[in-house]
Amino acid sequence: MKPIKPVYEQINNEIESIQKGIQIIAVTKQVGVERTKEAIDAGIQHLGENRPEGLIAKREALSSDVQWHFIGTLQSRKVKDVINQIDYLHSLDRLSLAKEIQKRADRPVNCFVQVNVSQEESKSGLAPEETVQFVKSLEHFDKIRVVGLMTMAPNTSDEETVRRVFKGLKALQLKVAAENWEHAPCTECSMGMSNDYLIAAQEGATFVRIGTALVGTESEV
Ligand SMILES: *Cc1c(COP(=O)(O)O)cnc(C)c1O
């Protein structure tokens, strides 16, 4: 596999030339502990996992001064296993999950509300038109801090379709932010993966989540 550091630097340069300050989350769900350690040694500060087992195993094995992002669908019964181990949750998409977090978290958790901007059946997330009301409904959950919105673009090579989805999330994020709710600063936009991070950066992402193009995939994981 390619060394991570030069790839990271290249991606970082590409993104920085579009917009400064975008955070890169290395999605390590398809690589092991050693490769994840290489990512940390390359200077990566944000790591993303989509399964509780992967997150817990890597967090135990690795340095603690990185930020852990849970980016996958989180089953309510798994909340207790991960919620106090992570710095950000990218997949808050239902009230029942919010209630479980409220019950299990020891401190306020930085959450992204996941929005299904493209309205594909196969994707989780709230419908765009439900999102503002959903965020408002979280105001009495003192363990939830809505830092932003998250979406996944459709898996298509049609750039305009992808761009439209990212523009949609950005507009919605600004709309929630404009409400000035104390529980929901909503300053962040989590969007863009290996195939579309440049489009996401152009459309106002503040976090991009990159796996394959950055750390690669290891077949044995
Ligand atoms: C796997 C995953 C990514 C990274 O995908 P790549 O195409 O490998 O960059 C980003 N976000 C989520 C939610 C994922 O599940």
User: pLDDT tens-digit profile of 1-21?
Assistant: 899 999 999 999 999 999 999
Q: Is residue 221 part of a domain?
A: no
Nearest CA to ligand 1 atom 13: 71
Contact yes or no for 35/58 (Cβ under 8 A): no
Structural domain of 55:
4-215
Q: Is residue 220 part of a domain?
A: no
Q: Is residue 79 part of a domain?
A: yes
Full DSSP string of 94-132: -HHHHHHHHHH-SS-EEEEEEB-TT--TT--SB-HHHHH
CA of 214 to the centre of ligand 1 (A): 11
Place of tokens 């830092």: 147
pLDDT of residue 151: 98
Q: Is residue 65 part of a domain?
A: yes
Measured from the Cα of 214, ligand 1's closest atom is 9
Cβ partners under 8 Å of residue 84, min gap 6: 104, 105, 106, 107
CA of 182 to the centre of ligand 1 (A): 30
Label residue 219 by pLDDT band (50, 70, 90).
confident
CA of 120 to the centre of ligand 1 (A): 17
Label residue 221 by pLDDT band (50, 70, 90).
low
| Separation between Cα atoms, residue 105 and residue 138, nearest integer Å | 15
Task: Check whether 105 has a pLDDT greater than 70.
Answer: yes
Give the model confidence (pLDDT) of 164-218 as tens digits: 999 999 999 999 999 999 999 999 999 999 999 999 999 999 999 999 999 999 9
| Separation between Cα atoms, residue 167 and residue 19, nearest integer Å | 15
What rounded mean pLDDT belongs to the chain?
A: 96
Label residue 63 by pLDDT band (50, 70, 90).
confident
- For residue 86, give the CATH number of its domain: 3.20.20.10
What backbone phi and psi angles, to 5 degrees, belong to 73? -60, 130
| Separation between Cα atoms, residue 136 and residue 216, nearest integer Å | 38
| Separation between Cα atoms, residue 90 and residue 74, nearest integer Å | 9
Measured from the Cα of 71, ligand 1's closest atom is 13
Bridge partners, residue 113, by sequence: 92, 149
CA of 27 to the centre of ligand 1 (A): 6
The closest alpha carbon to 194, from 152, 141, 163, 164, belongs to 152
Q: Is residue 53 part of a domain?
A: yes
Q: What percent of the chain clears pLDDT 70, i.e. is strictly above it? A: 99
Q: How crowded is the C-beta side of 141, counted as CA atoms within 13 Å?
A: 26
The closest alpha carbon to 206, from 122, 149, 138, 156, belongs to 149
> What is the mean predicted confidence (pLDDT) over 110-125?
94
Ligand 1 — pocket residues by CB below 6 A? Answer: 27, 29, 50, 71-72, 152, 193-194, 209-213
pTM: 0.97
Q: Is residue 176 part of a domain?
A: yes
The closest alpha carbon to 200, from 38, 56, 8, 18, belongs to 18
Q: Is residue 143 part of a domain?
A: yes
The closest alpha carbon to 67, from 37, 91, 89, 88, belongs to 88
Nearest CA to ligand 1 atom 11: 209
CA of 193 to the centre of ligand 1 (A): 6
Q: Is residue 96 part of a domain?
A: yes
Q: How many domains does the chain have?
A: 1
What is the phi-psi region of residue 39: left when phi exceeds 0, alpha when psi lies from -120 to 50, beta otherwise? alpha
Label residue 220 by pLDDT band (50, 70, 90).
low
Nearest CA to ligand 1 atom 12: 71
| Separation between Cα atoms, residue 93 and residue 72, nearest integer Å | 11
